[in-house]
Structure 1
């Protein structure tokens, strides 16, 4: 169950990233456009979980969180480039920062909650 929750949180982080990005660029709110933007990062996320074997310790900041984040960004950008989507430097920076804050942030928050509950 913890694996499903962790994977779901990761997917939600990426979908929020895509939604905010598309809205900030006033792109049409079409499902196909959303999917076109999201799929490279979702595939990158799946690769990240596979490469790091994230299911072993899905809430771990290291190695799962860092590895999943790195592979998600690298894989997502590579797939965007291969599919003819943009990979401008500013976009790469924003994507790296946003996904880092969210994919790593929820893991840090979960760790903090766990430590606090153990010490209480």
Structure 2
């Protein structure tokens, strides 16, 4: 069952990162084309992949700590670094606006940690309910 949860967790994370990119592009009136979405999402997806591999995310995919936290921090940190290195997001000469870093960090925390928290609670409640029957 852990193998299944590993795939599910990876897909959920990836979808949420793409949603983050889509919402960001939409909020700035940028095209939501496949190429545009990829351009925005890939730095964060690359960061996610590094975090997933470092923490061996498939082993404990639903854990907030360390899996979720390591994946989240890597997604944000590497994503921001790649955006700067590729010239994405430059606003009036500022390659990394603080407001974007704050919003991205919070939104990705809610996305990547939030669903794991909810899934963990649901699974715990489900186990308790089955234990009483």
- Give 1:17-96 correspondences, 5 Å limit: 17-86=20-89, 87-96=96-105
Cross-structure match for 1:112: 121
Deviations 1:39-60 (A, max 9, x none): 1001011001011111110111
Deviations 1:39-84 (A, max 9, x none): 1001011001011111110111110001100011001001111111
The 2-side partners of 1:30 and 1:118 are apart by 43
Gaps of 5+ in 1: none
- Equivalent residue for 2:110, pick from 76, 101, 116: 101
Gaps of 5+ in 2: 90-95
Cross-structure match for 1:6: 9
How far the C-alpha of 1:27 sits from its partner, in A, is 0.5
What TM-score do you get using the length of structure 2 for normalisation? 0.87
CA RMSD of aligned residues (A): 0.8
**Pair member with larger Rg:** 2
What TM-score do you get using the length of structure 1 for normalisation? 0.97
Deviations 1:18-38 (A, max 9, x none): 111101100022221111101
